[in-house]
A and B are shown apart, each in its own frame.
Chain A
Amino acid sequence: NAGVTQTPKFQVLKTGQSMTLQCAQDMNHNSMYWYRQDPGMGLRLIYYSASEGTTDKGEVPNGYNVSRLNKREFSLRLESAAPSQTSVYFCASNGKQGIPWTEAFFGQGTRLTVV
């Protein structure tokens, strides 16, 4: 049982480059989330998807786009990377049909450096 899988684990980008972070869960969860974690700032919500076909902005959405490709997959895209987007990115999922607030599970994170 893989849980939540994120790829890649590490990435270095040059300013202005684009990339997509991939996330997939195999727990049939309805909700999926993207967070970034920075020293002293804690975990901040970038975007979330409460169900397949819906996405909503979180606390820090600027510079990011998301796609809920299907129930399993939720991707995060940086169109033009900036040094301020250097961070560790976590994907999470929870919620099942009729039980919206099940235990949340997290991926192992993507460590992104923008130079």
Chain B
Amino acid sequence: KQEVTQIPAALSVPEGENLVLNCSFTDSAIYNLQWFRQDPGKGLTSLLLIQSSQREQTSGRLNASLDKSSGRSTLYIAASQPGDSATYLCVTGANSKLTFGKGITLSVRP
């Protein structure tokens, strides 16, 4: 059974800091890994999708990497802004199931 872990559960940083959010998973037989953002009381917005054959994906200030052999993915956020405050979730896709981590709640202080 796939287990996805995101530690820490919450993170607070000052504006402008570069930061890394970690995601680990137990079963490396995944097809892809996706990072989502969720604002309070809202739905999930897709940020980046990394296929299993890829090592990383970039979108603006965001960069996500995938290392299947070690069961890890990281989401790098450059020059963080207060508008980046949200919960970030990673999800693996395999065997007709999407498995979610519990998310990291990020607060960026002005």
Contacts and interface: CB of A to CB of B under 8 A. Distances in A.
Contacts of B98: 33, 45, 92, 94, 104
A31 interface: yes
B46 interface: yes
Contact of B43 (A33, A45, A107): A107
Interface residues of A, number: 24
| Interface SS, A side | strand
Interface residues of B, number: 21
A90 B44 contact: yes
A60 B53 CA distance: 32
Interface string A82-113: 00000000101010000011011111110000
A19 to B, nearest CB: 20
A33 B74 CA distance: 25
10 contacts: A40-B102, A42-B101, A45-B97, A90-B43, A92-B44, A103-B34, A104-B46, A107-B43, A108-B42, A109-B43
